[in-house]
């Protein structure tokens, strides 16, 4: 009921591109494990062995803190319609900020989103599929516009202030690296 691969095949790439949401799993050396749902067309396949996802401003910044401490990441996709399938990508990720040299080239791969905070680039070390027989059917009705509207309303300065107020430190008290010098914590 499960298969393992070293990289993505064409069939698995097609499956990923058909999904409307995915889940990110990260953990530091200790503390909370974080699992976050993602959508809004925020994942790109760079190659069969590499993916990137655009992280938008949110209430926390756990993935960034975890990856700074421990590069392990899992990305999970599951089919809510048609043929059941769960697909997990295991690998090591790096955080890329708007201040980093790689930002512009990677950011150009995504739709322009106000509040874009980081891009995570993950090198895939293992791809695992499993049956997904217990995943229920759900119908995709559309993306929520709440986050996009919130970011536009705040504007760049408002978002930066939000990052200062809410995104510099994880729930475990770990540095998220959102600002190059976080001595103002």
Copy the structure tokens of residue 102.
Answer: 């790689």
Per-residue pLDDT reduced to its tens digit, 109-160: 999 999 999 999 999 999 999 999 999 999 999 999 999 999 999 999 999 9
Query: Collapsing DSSP states into helix, strand and coil, what is residue 164?
Result: helix
pLDDT of residue 34: 97
Q: How far apart are CA 154 and CA 16, in angstroms?
A: 32
Task: Compute CA distances 129 → 16, 74, 97, whole Å.
Answer: 12, 13, 31
Q: What's the CA gap between 103 and 98, in Å, rounded?
A: 5
Distance CA 162, CA 5 (A): 40
- Residue owning tokens 């590499």: 50
DSSP assignment letter at 49 = T
Segment 78-100 shows an average pLDDT of 96
Which two three-digit tokens encode residue 152?
């536009």
Above 50 in pLDDT, residue 185? no
Of 114, 109, 144, 122, residue with least CA distance to 38: 144
CA 57 to chain CA centroid, nearest Å: 11
Tens-place pLDDT, residues 11-70: 999 999 999 999 999 999 999 999 999 999 999 999 999 999 999 999 999 999 999 999
Separate counts of helices (H) and strands (E) for the chain: 4, 8
């Amino acid at each position: 009921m499960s298969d393992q691969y070293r990289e993505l095949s064409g069939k698995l790439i097609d499956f990923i591109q058909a999904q409307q949401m995915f889940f990110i799993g990260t953990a530091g050396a200790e503390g909370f494990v974080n699992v976050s749902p993602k959508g809004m067309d925020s994942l790109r396949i760079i190659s069969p062995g590499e993916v990137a996802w655009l992280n938008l401003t949110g209430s926390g910044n756990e993935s960034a803190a975890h990856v700074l401490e421990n590069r392990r990441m899992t990305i999970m996709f599951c089919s809510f319609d048609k043929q059941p399938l769960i697909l997990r990508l295991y690998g090591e990720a790096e955080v890329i900020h708007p201040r980093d040299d790689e930002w512009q080239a990677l950011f150009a791969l995504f739709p322009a989103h106000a509040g874009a905070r980081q891009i995570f680039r993950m090198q895939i070390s293992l791809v695992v599929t499993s049956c997904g027989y217990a995943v229920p059917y759900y119908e995709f009705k559309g993306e929520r516009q709440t986050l996009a509207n919130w970011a536009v309303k705040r504007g760049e300065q408002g978002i930066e202030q939000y990052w200062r107020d809410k995104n510099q430190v994880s729930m475990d008290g770990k540095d998220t690296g959102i600002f190059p010098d976080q001595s103002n914590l």
